[in-house]
Amino acid sequence: MFTTYTLPCGLRLVCTPGQTDVVYLGIAIDAGTRHELPKESGMAHFIEHMSFKGTRRRSARQVISSMESVGGELNAFTGKEETVYYCTCLKQHVSRAIDLLLDIALESTYPQEEMNREVEVVIDEIESYQDQPAELIYDEFESLIFPSHPLGRNILGDAETLRKYRSGDLHRFARRLYHPDRMVLYVLGNVEPEKVLRAVGKNAACGDAQRRTRKLPTPHAEIGIAARGDFNVLREKNTHQAHVVVGAPSFGGNDPRHLHLYFLSNMLGGPAMSSRLNLALRERNGLVYTVESNQTTYTDTGVWSVYYGCDAKDRARCHKLVLRELDRLVQHPLSQHALDAARRQLKGQIGISYDNFENVAIGMAKRYLHYGTTLSREQLFERLDAITPEDLLSTAQSVFSPDRLLTLEYV
């Protein structure tokens, strides 16, 4: 059960009951990498860091100690389409958490002295990321899928650009994108929605933000997807093992086929050891330690991919086995027995995942932020129950066909 409100300043609230006195809450903002202007590479992520470095009412020390002093947690992350600031606390500290979240989202000051220090922290983060080829390869794959588009841009940015930013640059970004009507405040816990509304009402930041001079939101750039033949790329990385991604452009969150692809992706390389690719590459042939199928869904597009790490000499064999499993789904519909078994497994995995309340809360917020709706577990199960063998066959043919597949290899 979800309760939603829209305040006069445009801030949207979404609340759902919890089973314990621990509350999961945060602010999701429609401001991510895809909203950066051409000269703002890494800005969305950098401003997330700098929002912890002081507000009009709090010093950096007060920001980080506000929740920790009562045993709570405060954190944040930046994605391609959103930035999320989130807290975990006991229910008696919800008002404190809401005041803090609104403060850092709407009243951060981005002092230059703090920027000079924090930029080196972010650059260390970038350099650490460069040492993780199994993670880096996903970003490069998206940059090849979405050439010359912000969705293909690395979230962290690059050191040279980051060092050029000044406090005024961050303020301009915030004035353009950090506004209440681009935000969702979400709460999952044993808290009455009226208490949440009262806590928001006591914070002046929402009203002050409503009176600010604002620019129009940055429009989404037209998505250019790489054409077949643009790349099958081999990078020499001198890594211990080869890292390979095979994938294709897929569907946005408003396209019902994204759920069909989620179903197929779980069958192929989900967390179960009985997934088709794990059986083919690891259990039967001992070629890999890790193989997984992933789906990234944005509002208007998506990326589906298979990743595996193997000995360089086994790359061709692994690739052949992956293509064989994909071809099975392209050429023949699932039997009803196989469909029912895969559906039962996926629903069980989803049911268990709902015990991770923080992820459930963040997922609820992101869906409400981007689509203006919520989706309960029961509603999701109903959609899974409606999937037919024909749905899956058609989706497999749209995504897994050889003439759509693109490959990136690190060796």
Q: Residue 331 above 60 pLDDT?
A: yes
For residue 236, the SS3 value is coil
What's the rounded Cα separation, in Å, for the pair 67 and 100? Answer: 8
Which of 110-117's residues contact partners 24+ apart within 8 Å by CB, and which partners? 110/47, 110/50, 110/51, 110/53, 110/167, 110/170, 110/171, 110/174, 111/53, 111/54, 111/167, 112/166, 112/167, 114/50, 114/53, 114/54, 114/60, 115/50, 115/53, 115/165, 115/166, 115/167, 115/170
Instruction: Tell me what pLDDT residue 213 has.
Output: 44
CA distance 282 to 261: 23
Would the pLDDT of 212 be above 80? no
Q: pLDDT-derived band of residue 203, with 50, 70 and 90 as boundaries?
A: confident
| Nearby residues of 280 by Cβ (< 8 Å), 6 or more positions away | 321, 322, 324, 325
Distance CA 230, CA 392 (A): 28
CATH number for the segment(s) 233-410: 3.30.830.10
**Which of the pair, 217 or 52, is modelled with greater confidence?**
52
Q: Dihedral sign for Cα 84, 88, 89, 94, please.
A: positive
Domain boundaries, the chain: 3-211, 233-410
- CA dihedral sign of residues 52, 58, 61, 63: negative
Beta-carbon contacts of residue 89 (< 8 Å; ≥ 6 apart)? 22, 23, 25, 67, 70, 71, 72, 73, 96, 97
Question: Is the pLDDT at 110 greater than 80, yes or no?
Answer: yes
8 A C-beta contact, residue 265 and residue 277? no
pLDDT at 42: 97
Q: Which residue has the tokens 């009243």?
A: 107
Per-residue pLDDT, averaged over 157-175, amounts to 97
3-state class of 287 per DSSP? Answer: coil
Query: What pLDDT digit, counting tens, does each position of 115-159 carry?
Result: 999 999 999 999 999 999 999 999 999 999 999 899 999 999 999
CATH of 3-211, one of 3.40.640.10, 3.50.50.60, 3.40.50.300, 3.30.830.10: 3.30.830.10
**Other beta carbons within 10 Å of 191:** 20
Q: Looking at the predicted structure, is the pLDDT value of residue 76 above 80?
A: yes
pLDDT tier at 224, thresholds 50, 70, 90: low
The tokens for 365 are: 């917020």
How far, in Å, are 321, 355, 381 from residue 358 at the CA level? 37, 9, 20
Per-residue confidence band for 211, with pLDDT thresholds at 50, 70 and 90: very low
Query: How far apart are the C-alpha atoms of 246 and 406, rounded to whole Å?
Result: 6
Q: Look up residue 130 and give its amino acid.
A: Q
Please answer whether residues 252 and 300 qualify as being in contact, where contact means their C-beta atoms are separated by less than 8 angstroms: yes
Average pLDDT of every residue of the chain = 94
**32 vs 45, 47, 151, CA distance in Å?**
8, 10, 9
Residue with the larger pLDDT of the pair 405 and 221: 405
Residues 20-73: tens digit of each pLDDT: 899 999 999 999 999 999 999 999 999 999 999 999 999 999 999 999 999 999
H helix or E strand, kind and range, residue 304: strand 302-310
C-alpha–C-alpha distance, residues 245 and 377, integer Å: 31
Element holding 297 (H helix, E strand): strand 288-297
Report whether pLDDT(89) > 50.
yes
CA 61-203-63 angle, 5° bins: 10
